[in-house]
Structure formats: C-alpha cells, structure tokens
C-alpha cells in the first residue's frame, strides 16, 4: 500500500462522471453520491479539472462505482481506462501518436504521468527488444487508487500503445500493492 500522500488532477473526476452518465444515465450519479464521504462527494459533484485531489478520494469513488455497477468485473474499469485514454489522445496528441512508436511512448511516459499525478512515481524497467518484439515492465509506486485504478491503467496502456502503432499488445499484471506487493507493475509486450 502507498506510504505517502498521492494526488491526481480533477480532470479524472470530471471524466469519470461523464463516463458513468453515458453508461447508466444521470440517475446513476445520486446513487454514487449517497455512498461517498463528504470529501469524495464534493470532488465528484463539483470537480475542478486542474485541482489536485487525493488519490484516496479517487479510490473511494472508483470502489463505490465498482460496487454499484462493476461488481468486481476487471473489464469494467479497463473499459473506463480505454475511454479516458481515447479522450486524452484525441486532438493534436492523436496525430503525434500516429507517428510515434511504442518505445517513444515509453520515453515520454514519465513526463506525461507527472502532468496528471503528484506523489506517485512511474518507472520503466527491463526493456527488452529483439527481432521486432518488445517487452517492458511499467511500475507505479505510491499509487493509491485501488484495484479499479490498476484496471484503469491497464485500459489506458492498451489504447495509448495501440494508437502508437504496436501490434499484438499484451498487458499483464505482475505485482499489485492492493494484493500485498510493494508496488503495482505490469509487463507489456508487443510487436513493432
């Protein structure tokens, strides 16, 4: 589990609400709000996109939504991760990804991460390339958004790397701080 404060931009709360309404209608919002703490309720009801919010609040939000609608299905929040990544990679970034490669995405991943996360650290390790195949480990340290947050990252990876032109992408969880490990990590592999 994370050992210090970690934050994420409010744009995540904005997008989470939009996604939830698109899936389940406006009537889903009050169902979620009534189960949240006052702090998480305020974040979800009145999110400020550029404000930093504790990942503890996002974890509470995600776990509440999962309990009501996802029922523990890992694909539920992977779908949100894909939704988030589709929106984050639209506009000018969409064109940059078309000319990027998976390796170029890795090189810029940490600076992109710092734009949305504070207190959490993204690391890239064990990069292996041979005969057009690439494998890498992506680590998120001090990441406190619970199992739903981990599934969101998996969906995000799927979209961003696929938009960068990789083929046969596989995203596999290696470790999870919410299952007793020291940090969350994934092995990604693909063909260029």
Centre a 10 Å sphere on the Cβ of residue 11 and count the other Cβ atoms it contains.
Answer: 19
Q: 58 or 103, which is more confident?
A: 58
pLDDT at 72: 87
pLDDT for 65-93, tens place per residue? 999 999 989 999 999 999 999 998 887 66
90 compared with 34, residue with greater pLDDT = 34
* Residue 95: pLDDT over 80: no
For the chain, domains (ranges, CATH) are: 1-192 (3.90.1520.10)
**pLDDT score for 90:** 82
Structure tokens at 164: 């960068």
Summarised one tens digit per residue, pLDDT across range 143-164 is 999 999 999 999 999 999 998 9
Mean pLDDT (the chain) is: 93
Band of the pLDDT at 98, cuts 50, 70, 90?
Answer: low
pLDDT band at 94 (very low <50, low <70, confident <90, very high): low
């Amino acid at each position: 589990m994370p050992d210090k404060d970690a934050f994420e931009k409010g744009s995540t709360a904005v997008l989470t609400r939009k996604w939830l309404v698109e899936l389940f209608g406006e009537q889903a919002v009050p169902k979620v709000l009534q189960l949240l703490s006052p702090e998480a309720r305020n974040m979800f009801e009145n999110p400020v996109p550029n404000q930093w919010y504790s990942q503890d609040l996002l974890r509470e939000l995600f776990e509440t939504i999962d309990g009501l609608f996802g029922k523990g299905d890992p694909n539920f929040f992977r779908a949100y991760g894909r939704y988030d990544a589709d929106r984050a990679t639209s506009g000018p970034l969409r064109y940059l990804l078309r000319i990027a490669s998976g390796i170029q995405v890795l090189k810029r991943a940490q600076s992109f991460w710092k734009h949305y996360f504070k207190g959490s650290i993204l690391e890239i390790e064990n990069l292996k390339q041979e005969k057009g195949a690439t494998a890498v480990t992506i680590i998120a340290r001090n990441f406190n958004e619970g199992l739903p947050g981990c599934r969101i990252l998996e969906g995000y990876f799927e979209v961003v790397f696929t938009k960068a032109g990789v083929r046969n992408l596989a995203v596999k969880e290696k470790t999870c701080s919410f299952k007793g490990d020291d940090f969350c990590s994934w092995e990604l592999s693909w063909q260029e």
